[in-house]
Structures are given as C-alpha cells and as structure tokens.
Amino acid sequence: MDKSEFRNWSRRASDWSADYLESLPERPVRAQVRPGEIGRMIADSPPESAHAMEEIFADFERIIPGGMTHWQHPRFFAYFPSNAAPAAVIAEQLATAIGAQCMLWQTSPAATELEVRMIDWLRQALDLPEEFKGTFQDTASSATLCAVLTMRERALDWKGNKAGLFGQKPLRVYASKGTHSSIDKAMWVAGLGQDNLVHIPVDENGAIRIDDLKTAILTDREAGYQPAGLVVCVGGTSTGATDDVAAACAVGRAEGLYIHVDAAWAGSAMICPEFRHLWAGVEQADSIVFNPHKWLGAPMECSAHFVRDPETLVRTLAIQPEYLKTYGKEGLVNFSEWSVQLGRRFRALKIWFLLRAYGLDGLRTMIRNHVAWSQRLAERLAGEPDFEITTQPVLSLFSFRYAPKGHAGDLDELNRRLVNAINDDGRIYLTQTLHDGRQVIRFTAGPFEMEEQDAEIAFDTICGIARGLESEAG
C-alpha cells in the first residue's frame, strides 16, 4: 500500500466508523450468531499473494460487524461498560499511526511525560493526595498482579525475585468474597497459590467483615503463615459490593500489610464528589486501580494504577539490562519498570484528548445521569408486582429477579430463560449472576452515548418479555 492508498483507505475507515456509531441504536446489542458461524466464513489458510484492499474491506463489512457484540451500543447494560468516546477514538488512531513503543523515556519522551501529567490530572480529578503517583497499565488485572507481586517482595524483604519462594513461610493475602477473580489469578501468577488467598466473610451488604479479617490475620500468624497483603473492593463486579475502605485499611496498616484498592469500575464515579463516600479512607491505601476504559470513556486498554510509594513498585518490577539503560539523563521515568510488560502502548494520548474534549463537568454529568436513570429503573421494577430488587443500586448497578406470584416452577430456571430471551431479542443486553445462592439479573448503566429513553426501552423490554414467558408457561 502506497501513501496515497493509505490516505484513501484511512478516510474510508473513518467514514465507516462514523456510520457504524450512528447505526448502533438499530443493531441488536449482542451478536446474533452461533458458535463457529463466523469462522466458517474465513479462509482456512493464509493467502500466498496479496489481496486488494477493496476485497479485504468488503469482507470486513460482510463478516465482522454482524458477528460482534456492540459494546458502544447505548443499550449495552451487561458486565461493565467498555466505552470508546469519539474524541478518544481519534487519539487512538493517531497513537496507532505513530506506532510508538513507549517502554523507556528515550524511546518516546512525549509519551512518557504526557503519561506523568495525565496520571496527575486523574489524581486531581479523584481528589487523591499529591503523594500518589502512577502509570497506565493495560487492565486492572495487570495492576492487581503488580500489587500482589509487590506484596510478595515487600513481605520477603525484596528477595523473592532472586531467591524464589522455596523454604519461605507461606504468604497470605486477604480479600472479601466479593472481590474479582483477577485476584485469584494474580495469586497463581505470583507463585503464592490460590489457597493462600484468604476470602473473608461478608456482611449483608457484601462488605468484608472487619472482625473476621482481624481474626483471620491473627490465626494465620499463630499457624506460621506470613500475612502480606490486603485487597479492598469498591464496586464489586457481581452486585457492586463495597468494603468499608477506612476500616479495612486501618486493619491492614496496623498489621503491616500492603493494601491494594480495586475500584476498577466504580473508581470513575469518584470524579463526582458526592460519590466519594464509597471509598472514604482510600488515602490510606498503598495502591489503587480504576479503569478509565470502563465508565470514563477511554478505549481499551487503559487502567490507571496509582501508588503511594513508587519505589516499592519499581523495586519489585524493574530490570535493567545494558540495552535498556539510558545514560546522561537524570530524573527521568521509565514506565516499563512500573509494569510486568516491557513493551507499552501510548495510552496517555487518549486520556489527554478525552479530558480536554469533554471536560470533567461533561464526564460528571454523564455519570450522574447513568446513576439517576439506573436508580429510576430499579424503582419502576420494584413497583411491578412480579419483580423484586435483589440488591439495591450501587451507583448505576443493581440486580433484580422475576418472581411471578403462583409460579410453580424453578425460579432460577425462569430467570435464566428470561435473560436469554432478552438478549436474543436484541434491544438490550443484560447478564446474570448469583446472589444468596439464587439466580438474579444484573443491570448496569454506563454506555457513553446512552440517553434516558434507553432506560425506558430497558423497562419495556424486561417487563414485556418476562410477561410473555409466563403466559407461554401458563
């Protein structure tokens, strides 16, 4: 492809992207295909000779969009959002064109220095203390792994990377039962073992029981284990469960634990002062993670990882062979020393565009609308005779259950059928979870382009399909 062709096809891709975003409200939210259907439309072997871009682009349009679940759809109410605000998409296009590898300051000075500033912009937006610095990881899973590795090294007096874990006391990490599965995986990868992740019981609101946390740490010490870290949850994936951050951090600090706060989804809402009570005491933590690529509007991947003392993170992860050293430059930052990855993308650019194009006021308005619309939907469903709200809204997330009076069958099976029927319908997309051992349905508002009428469509869709299922059964 020569430069003139690149210009033409770049424009074609840009036009297609704009048309795609405009067409989303008319598309089914979840992909309406069966397993293997897309694969059968793709050649079994790679081509020996080049294909014309016209043919390639035509195949893209024919095969790919219809086989995608549309995460930018204004009625994507499943999982948590994965937004891509238009201004940030443009930044991503520019970063891709530059094709930078941002592992060291010398390989991308502007990328490194913009990242330092953008992390600080986000710190200010969240009203975190000035001592917190940070970096952009790919996802919260990576940030959590970095935190668990730091817990390990700190507990082993920074000898684990060199000497390994052989002959050491088993290290223990504590978290509530509501924490994300990425904590478990981090324990695997860090070599600590899933059995050494101690899941502490939770109260009726899903928050970690502080007395049980204290007891578990004391019991472990007496049994010869070495407590190393604590993961505090703010806005858990299943139903939004949130720990008492101040109380949990107080225990962690008293016991000498490294404290990591996982606010991957809910952290975005902390740009709104009225929601910060959810993580009151967060300044006591050693590290914090939230994902601008969820609710704030940055395209995947972009996870903000704040650390109170960067030296602990760098001491855990920095490796400096001769070919990665920079001589003659003092006071610089090499962000590859803050992450597991050596290669790093230019993530700060999309945050710069995002914050400047929409402003904190615009982003706060979006989040406040989502919270208000979700809470209103929960109230409307609660007013319906055949529905029950199983967990009250936490920000824009709540769960509900369809329980028609006189239903003689299995309500868990009925709710599974309901969520499948809703998703097959295509107007909205929801997911299920378990709460108190029962099958329930999650709703979370978060699409960047969502409007109030989309919540109205959600109400009509949920109620209409539910009553249809019950009439079929009758």
Which pLDDT tens digit goes with each residue over 259-304?
Answer: 999 999 999 999 999 999 999 999 999 999 999 999 999 999 999 9
User: Where does the pLDDT of residue 168 fall: very low under 50, low under 70, confident under 90, or very high at 90 and above?
Assistant: confident
- Inter-residue contact 91 to 354 (CB < 8 Å): yes
Question: Is domain 365-473 annotated with CATH 3.90.1150.170?
Answer: yes
193-207 in b/e form (b: 16+ CB < 10 A) is eeebbbebebeeebb
Neighbouring CB atoms inside 10 A of 305's CB total 24
- Inter-residue contact 202 to 209 (CB < 8 Å): yes
* Average pLDDT across the chain, whole number: 93
**pLDDT at position 320:** 77
Work out the burial of residue 63: count CB atoms within 10 Å of its CB; fewer than 13 is exposed, 13-18 middle, 19 or more buried: middle
* pLDDT score of 328 more than 60: no
100-345: CATH, from 3.40.640.10, 2.60.40.1120, 2.60.40.10, 3.40.50.1820: 3.40.640.10
- Inter-residue contact 470 to 407 (CB < 8 Å): yes
**pLDDT at position 368:** 98
* pLDDT score of 351 more than 80: yes
Give the least confident one: 83-87, 326-330, 378-382.
326-330
* pLDDT score of 324 more than 90: no
Neighbouring CB atoms inside 10 A of 42's CB total 9
Rounded alpha-carbon distances, angstroms, from residue 230 to 140, 144, 288: 16, 11, 12
Distance CA 65, CA 50 (A): 23
**pLDDT at position 121:** 98
Q: Is the peptide bond before 22 cis (omega within 30 degrees of 0)?
A: no
**pLDDT at position 322:** 66
**pLDDT at position 420:** 96
* pLDDT score of 329 more than 60: no
Give the least confident one: 5-19, 57-71, 332-346, 410-424.
332-346
**pLDDT at position 236:** 92
Residue matched to tokens 């590795």: 149
User: Where does the pLDDT of residue 417 fall: very low under 50, low under 70, confident under 90, or very high at 90 and above?
Assistant: very high
Rg, C-alpha atoms of the chain:
24
- CA 446, 450, 452, 458 dihedral sign is negative
Q: Is 100-345 the same fold as 3-72?
A: no
Per-domain residue ranges of the chain:
3-72, 100-345, 365-473
Average pLDDT for residues 222-247, to the nearest whole number?
A: 95
Query: Of 160, 199, 193, 163, which is closest to residue 179 (Cα–Cα)?
Result: 199
- Inter-residue contact 262 to 285 (CB < 8 Å): no
- Inter-residue contact 432 to 416 (CB < 8 Å): yes
* pLDDT score of 216 more than 60: yes
- Inter-residue contact 173 to 197 (CB < 8 Å): yes
Give percent above pLDDT 70 in the chain: 97
- Inter-residue contact 105 to 328 (CB < 8 Å): no
Task: Pick left, alpha or beta for residue 427 (phi over 0 → left; psi -120 to 50 → alpha; otherwise beta).
Answer: alpha
Distance CA 279, CA 259 (A): 13
Distance CA 65, CA 33 (A): 11
**pLDDT at position 52:** 95
Residues 6+ apart with CB under 8 A from 347: 95, 102, 115, 136, 298, 301, 302
Distance CA 148, CA 146 (A): 6
| Report field, pTM of the whole predicted structure over 0.85 | yes
Average pLDDT for residues 54-72, to the nearest whole number?
A: 96
User: Where does the pLDDT of residue 472 fall: very low under 50, low under 70, confident under 90, or very high at 90 and above?
Assistant: low
User: Where does the pLDDT of residue 326 fall: very low under 50, low under 70, confident under 90, or very high at 90 and above?
Assistant: low
**pLDDT at position 330:** 62
**pLDDT at position 323:** 62
- What is the CATH code for 3-72? 1.20.1340.10
